[in-house]
A and B are shown apart, each in its own frame.
Chain A
Amino acid sequence: MPVPILAQAPYLIASVQSALTDADLIGLQNGLLDEAERRRCRGVVVDVTALDVMDSFSTRTLQSLAAMLRLRGVETVIAGIQPNVAMAMVQLGLTMPDVRTALDLDEGLAYLQARPHGSAGRGQ
C-alpha cells in the first residue's frame, strides 16, 4: 500500500500505514524527494510506528533517503521504531547511525521545529 505524504509547511510527514513492499518503499523514497523539492521543505518525518519488521532493505532505503535529502539541505527523522523492531534490527546489525530518530511523530516534528533553519545536520 503506497504511503501517503502530508505537507505541513515547511515539513513533510509520511505515515506508514501497513507492511510495505519493496516497491512501496522505493515509491516513498521517490515521492518524498519530489515533494521536498517541489515544496522547498526543510524537514521530513517518516513515521514507522505501524511497521512490525524493518529488515536490511527497508533500513537501507530509509538511510539512502535521509542521505539524499540531507544533500539537499533537508533533514529526515525516522519516528516510532517499535521496541521489538529495534531489538531485531540491532541483532541483525542495522543501527542507522547517521539517521536522526525520534520516539514518535510529535517528537520528530518537535526536533525539526527546534532546529535552526538551513542546517541539515548529520543526525546524532
Chain B
Amino acid sequence: MDSDIRVPIDGELDILTARQNARELAVALGFDAVRQTLIATAISELARNILKYAGHGEILLRSDARNGTRGVTVVATDEGPGIADLALAMTDGFSTGHGLGLGLPGTKRLMDDFDLVSTVGSGTVVTTTMWVRRA
C-alpha cells in the first residue's frame, strides 16, 4: 500500500519519530485521543525492544481496513537474535534485557490484534493492529 510509513530504528531518537508518525496516522484515521495514546505507547515499547535486543530494525506503519473498519497496523521487524521461548517472552515480568519485562505482553494488551513470529538467529517480526472503534 502506498500509505506505508517506514521508520528505521537505529537509535533512541527514532523511538520519538516512530511515535509521532504513528500518532499522526492515528489522527488521520479517526482514532480518538485515548486510542492514539495506546498506539503511541505500544510503538514506544516495540521500538525499545528492537534497540535493546537487536540494535536496529524497522517500524512499518500501515493504514488498514477490515469489514469497513479502519485501523493502523504496525510491523516491527528486526534481524536480531530472535526469541528462544515465545511463551516465556509473553509472560509479564520476564525480561532478558534488564527492563520491567512488560514490553511484549504489555504491547499485546494495548493493541487489538497481535502476532509474533521469531526465529532464533534470524530475527523477530511483531505485527499488531488497532481498529477504530465505532461510537
Partner of A84, one of B15, B37, B107, B109: B37
Known A-B contacts A19-B16, A21-B16; A94 and B38 likewise in contact (beta carbons under 8 Å): no
Q: Which A residues are CB-close (under 8 A) to B33?
A: 84
Partner of B38, one of A22, A57, A59, A88: A88
> Mask for B48-89, Cβ within 8 A of A = 1, else 0?
100000000000000000000000000000000000000000
Tell me the interface secondary structure of chain B in the complex: helix
Known A-B contacts A88-B37, A88-B38, A93-B106; A56 and B48 likewise in contact (beta carbons under 8 Å): yes
The reply to whether A92 and B45 form a contact with Cβ atoms under 8 Å apart is: yes
Q: Which A residues are CB-close (under 8 A) to B99?
A: 56-57, 60
> Mask for A31-57, Cβ within 8 A of B = 1, else 0?
000000000000000000000111111
- CB of A25, distance to nearest CB on chain B (Å): 10
CA distance A19 to B22 in the complex (A): 14
Which residues of B78-135 have CB atoms within 8 Å of chain A's CB atoms? 92, 99-100, 102-103, 105-107, 109-110
Q: Which B residues are CB-close (under 8 A) to A23?
A: 12
The reply to whether A88 and B100 form a contact with Cβ atoms under 8 Å apart is: no
A to B CB contacts below 8 Å, 23 in the list? A19-B19, A21-B12, A21-B15, A22-B12, A52-B40, A53-B19, A53-B37, A53-B41, A55-B41, A55-B45, A55-B48, A56-B45, A85-B41, A88-B37, A88-B40, A88-B110, A91-B109, A92-B106, A92-B107, A92-B110, A93-B100, A93-B102, A93-B105
Interface residues of B (CB under 8 A from A): 12-13, 15-16, 19-20, 23, 33-34, 36-38, 40-41, 44-45, 48, 92, 99-100, 102-103, 105-107, 109-110
Complex A-B, nearest 7 residue pairs according to Cβ-Cβ distance, in ascending order: A92-B106, A55-B44, A84-B37, A88-B41, A93-B102, A22-B12, A91-B109
